[in-house]
Amino acid sequence: AWSVGVETEPASEGGMNVGFLSNGDYIKVKGVAFGSGAASLSARVASAGSGGTIEARLGSPTGTRVAACTVPVTGGWQTWQTVSCPVTGATGTQDLYLRFVGGSGNLFNLNWWQFGTGGDPTPTPTTPAPTTPAPTTPAPTTPPPTTPPAGQACGVTYTQVGSWSGGYEGRLTITNTGSAPISGWRVTFSLPSGQSLSQGWNATFGQQGSQVTVTNAAYNGQLSAGGSTTAGYIASSTGSAQTPTNLACTSS
């Protein structure tokens, strides 16, 4: 990704957020795989300014607008709220521009965004989930992993798209390297010390310690033999950006 008028800062919810957004600033994300179509856009935002609008445009900052999410005043630059809006006309693989529109001065901060394939996004809970008590009996033995059917396999490659002080963007290219279609994929890798995920797109990302798990979205899990898709992420870094290790892909 690359951007105009955008800076990063530590977020109260962890990781880094982009901030100091003013009217006309934008972020470009190259090669977003929308598949057969995204239905909604969700974003985690905070504003002690005037709020504004997040526009999703294709091809250029003034290209076709496929979504427009209204950002309210939340009461603080680190007082976060999730907003969502419908998406129309976003299919295939496109360069995405998130354009920020509003009045004068700083508008709002953005922690993460993601696309959904249908229905309303799951709301962020307002109370913490109850803590699961520790089991009183030994956990069952984990069964061995299921071997994919013959002909199914996937591979993954990593590309650093860009970097800046305190962060960088990485892109994962997932390819069906087998002779049969796959209906889903899962990528795992390890981040170097001092790095943590800030946001991701085109997949579901999870991080525990340095270990990152990436699972396909509903719209890009099915890959024909030789087919490929991409997922991207932004990570914060206390030093220079380094290539992730232990990169692996499994298919289903």
Task: Find the CATH number of the domain harbouring 22.
Answer: 2.60.120.260
Task: Give the integer Cα–Cα distance in Å for 33 and 230.
Answer: 6
> Same domain for 77 and 158?
no
Evaluate whether residue 137 is within a structural domain.
no
Listing DSSP states for the chain in one string gives -EEES-EEEE-TTSSEEEE---TT-EEEEEEEE-TT---EEEEEEEESS--EEEEEEESSTTSEEEEEEEE---SEEEEEEEEEEE--S--SEEEEEEEEE-SSS---EEEEEEEESSSPPPPPPSSPPPPPPPPSSPPPPPPPPPPPPTT--EEEEEEEEEEETTEEEEEEEEEE-SSS-BS-EEEEEEPPTTEEEEEEESEEEEEETTEEEEEE-TTS--B-TT-EEEEEEEEEESSS----EEEEEEE-
Q: Are residues 11 and 108 in the same domain?
A: yes
**The pLDDT value given to residue 125:** 43
Residues 230 and 203: beta-carbon distance below 8 Å: no
Yes or no: say if 72 and 51 are a contact pair by the CB < 8 Å rule: yes
The pLDDT assigned to 119 comes to 45
pLDDT of residue 134: 55
Q: Based on the fold, state whether residues 182 and 99 are members of the same structural domain.
A: no
Judge whether 125 lies within some domain. Answer: no
Residues 207, 110 share a domain: no
Q: Does 210 reside within a domain?
A: yes
pLDDT tens digits, 145-198: 555 556 679 999 999 988 888 888 999 999 999 999 999 999 999 999 888 998
Q: Are residues 109 and 164 in the same domain?
A: no
> Which pLDDT score is estimated for 129?
47
For residues 106 and 158, membership in a common domain is answered with no
What pLDDT is recorded for position 78? 94
Residue 164 forms part of a structural domain:
yes
Q: How far apart are CA 26 and CA 6, in angstroms?
A: 7
Q: Can you list the residues of the chain whose pLDDT is less than 50?
A: 119-130
Contact 178, 154 (CB under 8 A): yes
Cα torsion angle, 20, 23, 24, 30, sign? positive
Residue 20 has a pLDDT of: 86
Asked if residue 162 and residue 64 are part of one domain, the reply reads no
Contacts of 252 by beta carbon, 8 Å cutoff, 6+ apart: 148, 152, 182, 183, 184, 185, 186
Q: Which of 68, 91, 116 is the last residue of a domain?
A: 116
Residue 238 located in a structural domain: yes
Which pLDDT does position 80 carry in this prediction?
Answer: 94
Instruction: Identify whether residues 95 and 172 lie together within a single domain.
Output: no
Q: Is residue 15 part of a domain?
A: yes
Q: How many domains does the chain have?
A: 2
Q: What domain range is 213 assigned to?
A: 154-251
State the CATH number of the domain containing residue 184. Answer: 2.60.40.290
Tell me if 183 sits within 8 A of 219, measured CB to CB.
no
Q: Are residues 79 and 170 in the same domain?
A: no
Do the domain assignments include residue 144?
no
